[in-house]
Amino acid sequence: MKILIVGRNGNEHALAWKLHQSAKVSKIYFAPGNAGTATIGENIPITRISEIVDWLKINMVDLVLTGSAEYLAEGLADEIEKLELPFFGPTKAAAQIEWSKSFAKNFMRTNGIPTAAFEIFNDVEKAKQYVKNQSFPLVIKADGLAFGLGAVVAKNLQEAELALHNMMVKKIFGDAGKTVVIEEFLEGREISIHAFCDGENAVLFPASQDHKRLLDDDKGPNTGGMGSIVPVPGITSEIMNEIKEKIVLPTLSGLKRNGRPFIGILYPGVIITPNGPMALELNARFGDPEAQSYMRILKTDLADIFLACINGNLKNYSIEWVEQFVCCIIAATEDYPGKHKKGIIIDGLAAFDADPCVAIFQSGTTISDCGIVVNSRGRVLAVSAIGNDLNSAISRAYEALEKIKFEGMQFRTDIGRKALMYHT
């Protein structure tokens, strides 16, 4: 099989790393990819869907996929379908659960999927009026895609008003903030759920955990994700079954009833509250950096699973995972998640080639004109290490991270630490 992966993120590098191990896969192209994907396959310097479609008319491949929400929201699946090529991922209509939080919240309300109580606003004055009478903390979310940065937990009225002003008046997320969702703050353990879906059936992965806040102890602003672990200690099969019955399957059946069958990865962000698991959001692709952990312990051939989903054959399909733990740490620039410098030289990448326990998945990297790896975005790369228990995965990942060096490198020092207390 020849495969085209659209995107340039770390989750896509991780998917390619896994697909590359399949005896069925002969070549992987990336549009446009990053410095890491260039070591696995061929980067094609195109980013627009029209360019990708034109490229595919000349270069036939057997499968196309993406891990990027933006492409799904722009209807990449729909365009590839017109070429009669297999695409792994939802159509624009099915992916609306991710690209519009107001759609997702109304969808969850209609389909009885447990989620935080909410209101939707298009008018900043009405939103400001509403928050005046609420108790805090309160969560304010831009409706559209904002690279994981669009949710603000406001601790008081001033923070809420500032968030509304930034999103709706200053438009820091562009049109994504024209509409906002204001919702109740929920407390509990937060986990990432992923399920392979074929439109009707779902096979859940083990639970994973992202670390969304920038700083240790879950302090600082939300980010696209600063690290991940899998599996999550203490998340029992009873909890996973409840999530499947109350969140995953009702999402699939609701979308199917709406005439938008969902094929791809359904990735709900879930919080385990005293009233049971509730969905914080519904995503339509592999998490980043969750995929960088998942791909290390997936045993089954990933290309086979993708085809089973596309062909509607997931029922009774068994997907196997290695019974080990993974810890993945993101190295970001010092100014992330704000505006970031570009062109910082990344040192130490070659140090990992020989260690099978460790893998580096790159995201914000590119190859400079002089042929060296430099950063291009704030989240630069992920170091992902495998171990027989969570503690050894964590220590190995931090040991490996010491070999990576770049100016202003920042990372959390507590990835996976909170989960250790649930470890048996």
The site for ligand AMP (CB under 6 A) is made up of: 116, 139, 141, 151, 153, 183-186, 190, 212, 222, 269, 280-281
User: Of the two residues 225 and 416, which places its CB atom closer to ligand GLY in the complex?
Assistant: 225
Binding residues for ligand GLY, how many (CB under 6 A)? 8
Q: Smallest gap, in angstroms, from Cβ of residue 331 to ligand AMP?
A: 21
**Dihedral pair phi/psi, residue 52, rounded to 5°:** -65, -40
Residues 325-384 that bind ligand GLY (CB under 6 A): none
Partner whose binding site includes residue 141, from ligand AMP, ligand GLY, none (CB under 5 to 8 Å by kind):
ligand AMP
Residues 182-221 that bind ligand GLY (CB under 6 A): 210
Binding window for ligand GLY (CB under 6 A); candidates: 44-52, 280-288, 380-388, 402-410: 280-288
Question: Pick from 144, 118, 113: which is nearest to 131 by CA?
Answer: 118
User: Of the two residues 151 and 383, which places its CB atom closer to ligand AMP in the complex?
Assistant: 151
Partner whose binding site includes residue 290, from ligand AMP, ligand GLY, none (CB under 5 to 8 Å by kind):
ligand GLY
Q: Smallest gap, in angstroms, from Cβ of residue 184 to ligand AMP?
A: 6
228-361-28 Cα angle (round to 5): 125
DSSP-derived 3-state class of residue 105: helix
Closest residue by beta carbon to ligand AMP:
151
User: Of the two residues 224 and 268, which places its CB atom closer to ligand GLY in the complex?
Assistant: 224
Q: Smallest gap, in angstroms, from Cβ of residue 130 to ligand AMP?
A: 16
Question: Pick from 331, 326, 319, 296: which is nearest to 392 by CA?
Answer: 326
Among the listed residues 79, 183, 198, 288, the single contact to ligand GLY using CB under 6 A: 288
Q: Smallest gap, in angstroms, from Cβ of residue 406 to ligand AMP?
A: 27
Q: Output the CA–CA distances (angstroms, integers) from residue 10 to 89, 117, 143, 156, 268, in the order listed.
A: 17, 33, 24, 35, 19
Q: Is 290 in the site for ligand GLY (CB under 6 A)?
A: yes
User: Of the two residues 25 and 149, which places its CB atom closer to ligand GLY in the complex?
Assistant: 149
DSSP assignment of 27-87 equals: EEEEEE--TTGGGTSEE----SHHHHHHHHHHS--SEEEE--HHHHHTTHHHHHHHTT--E
Distance CA 3, CA 263 (A): 18
Partner whose binding site includes residue 139, from ligand GLY, ligand AMP, none (CB under 5 to 8 Å by kind):
ligand AMP
Question: Pick from 192, 187, 195, 196: which is nearest to 229 by CA?
Answer: 192
Instruction: List alpha helices for 230-340, DSSP H.
Output: 237-243, 249-257, 290-297, 302-310
- Residue 121: burial class (beta carbons within 10 Å; 0-12, 13-18, 19+): buried
User: Of the two residues 20 and 213, which places its CB atom closer to ligand AMP in the complex?
Assistant: 213
Whether residue 305 contacts residue 319, with contact meaning beta carbons closer than 8 Å, is answered with yes
Whether residue 279 contacts residue 268, with contact meaning beta carbons closer than 8 Å, is answered with yes
User: Of the two residues 191 and 357, which places its CB atom closer to ligand AMP in the complex?
Assistant: 191
Residues 6+ apart with CB under 8 A from 11: 67, 285, 286, 287, 288, 289, 290, 291, 292, 361
User: Of the two residues 183 and 288, which places its CB atom closer to ligand GLY in the complex?
Assistant: 288
In the beta sheet, which residues pair with residue 265? 196
* Side chain identity at residue 206, one-letter code: P
Instruction: List alpha helices for 138-267, DSSP H.
Output: 157-164, 237-243, 249-257
CB atoms within 10 A of CB 356: 7
User: Of the two residues 186 and 263, which places its CB atom closer to ligand AMP in the complex?
Assistant: 186
Contacts by 154-158, CB closer than 8 A, 24 or more apart: 157/131, 157/132
Q: Smallest gap, in angstroms, from Cβ of residue 362 to ligand GLY?
A: 16
User: Of the two residues 222 and 366, which places its CB atom closer to ligand GLY in the complex?
Assistant: 222
Distance CA 167, CA 159 (A): 12
Structure tokens given for 311: 């062909």
Partner whose binding site includes residue 183, from ligand GLY, ligand AMP, none (CB under 5 to 8 Å by kind):
ligand AMP
Angle between helix 124-132 and helix 157-164 axes, rounded to 10 deg? 170
Q: Smallest gap, in angstroms, from Cβ of residue 11 to ligand GLY?
A: 7
Q: Is 148 in the site for ligand GLY (CB under 6 A)?
A: yes
Q: Is 177 in the site for ligand GLY (CB under 6 A)?
A: no
Q: Could you give the string, one character per residue 216-255, with x where binding to ligand GLY holds by CB under 6 A and - elsewhere?
A: --------xx------------------------------
Q: Smallest gap, in angstroms, from Cβ of residue 293 to ligand AMP?
A: 16
Q: Smallest gap, in angstroms, from Cβ of residue 422 to ligand AMP?
A: 18
Partner whose binding site includes residue 280, from ligand GLY, ligand AMP, none (CB under 5 to 8 Å by kind):
ligand AMP
Site residues, ligand GLY (CB under 6 A): 148, 210, 224-225, 283, 287-288, 290
